[in-house]
Structures are given as structure tokens and as C-alpha cells.
Amino acid sequence: MTKFDIITIFPKIIEEYINTGIVRIAREKDLVEINVHDLRKWTDDNHKTVDDTPYGGGPGMIMKVEPIYKAIQELKQENSVVAITTPKGEKLVQKKLVGFSKEKDLHMIILCGRYEGFDQRIHDHLVDYEFSIGEYVLSGGELASLVLIDGITRLIPGVLGNKTSLEEETFNDNLLEYPQYTKPEEFNGWKVPDVLLSGNHKEIETFRKSNTKMV
């Protein structure tokens, strides 16, 4: 079974999403296990401190190494992959998601960043995989972690009911999916292409191929 342990200081953000839609279905089918952990659990002081000012000065706060180290030590198994959300990380692409989805008994520990980022020693000594979902800055790593979890989970055999829908999806073979239409045939003067109404499967296939673009 694929297993995720997400470490965050805002567990409710993660919990709301994983109890909805495809991810919820995968959990109910026992195809994936997702555990959400509050980083503050691994702090020692009364204020549950997870961040502090940077050495050398500068704006913002830096996430401390001690609680993250303790969390990883407690959660890590022999086959664990420790992943970290960071703008400096490798851009997440479909090929990478497919690779993770095919790993037997994948266990991924995901660290959700906040503030000005992590103490560099976390990057240097505790992490196996650093990833980014785009060239922009977000308030925290929770959204990025959910993108990773959703992207992997939906590819696990048995999660989606229709195997064909996976085979024809956007980004497979570096292609963007062809345009799709449904009822009504005409709305507000906007018509569905006649070829899609023709019933001629060969012409429909040709239409779709001609309207598929390379990434």
C-alpha cells in the first residue's frame, strides 16, 4: 500500500482535502494511507516553537531543524522517501508522478514549508526529494504537498474506475489532451464540431489527433 505522512503546522488544510473526492475514495478502498502530523508535536518548549530568526540577520523566520529531525526519526522506515516542498526544488511533472505511483509499498514523508523556508541543514541532511509545482511563491507547502499526493494517488491501479481515462489523459506521451464536448449540441450559438456528431469513428480519431498538441 502507498503511504503518505505529511508534516505541517496547519493540519486542517490537508485533512479537508484528503477527505474529499478521489483521495477519499482511495483511502476508503485501502489503496492509500495518509497520515497528517502537526509539527508542533515534536517541539519541547511551552510555546511549541517551530521557527526562529535567521543567523546573520534578514527578514522573516526560518523553520527549525530540531523538531523536523525528531519527526523524521519517528516516522521514517527503511523504504521511506523524505520529500520537501521548496521553490528551489525539481519541477513536478507527470512522468515523476507515474514513477512514484509504480513503486511498490511507497512510503513518502512530506515536509510542508512555511515562512522564509527551512534551515539549510534540513535540505542537506534529511531530505531525499525536493520539488516545486511552479515558478511562483505560495504562503506554504501544503498546496504543493496535496498536488503531489493527488497526482500519485489517482494513478494507483484501482483508484479510478475507468482505466482508459488514465491512458488518454493530458501529458501522457508529452501530449495535451484534445478538446472535449458534451450536451447540448448548441448553446448560445456555440456548436459542437459536426465530426463529433457524425458517428464516424475514423474521422473522429483523425479530428482528435489533429487537435492534440505537444507539450
pLDDT of residue 192: 94
Domains 2-153 and 170-214 share a fold: no
Give the C-alpha separation, 68 to 2, whole Å.
Answer: 22
User: Given this structure, which CATH class describes domain 2-153?
Assistant: alpha beta
pLDDT of residue 164: 47
pLDDT of residue 213: 73
Of the candidates 163, 5, 145, 160, the one whose C-alpha atom is nearest the C-alpha of residue 74 is: 5
Give the C-alpha separation, 56 to 49, whole Å.
Answer: 20
Domain 170-214: give its CATH superfamily.
tRNA(m1g37)methyltransferase, domain 2 (1.10.1270.20)
pLDDT of residue 177: 79
pLDDT of residue 137: 86
Per-residue pLDDT of the chain (215 residues; tens, 9 = 90+): 999 999 999 999 999 999 999 999 999 999 999 999 999 999 999 999 999 999 999 999 999 999 999 999 999 999 999 999 998 899 999 999 999 999 999 999 999 999 889 999 999 999 999 999 999 888 999 999 999 999 999 999 999 976 545 555 544 555 567 899 999 999 999 999 999 999 999 999 999 999 987 65
pTM: 0.85
Tell me the domain boundaries of the chain: 2-153, 170-214
SS3 for 106-161, per residue?
A: CEEEEECCECCCECHHHHHHCCCEEEECCCCCCCECHHHHHHHHHHHHCCCCCCCC
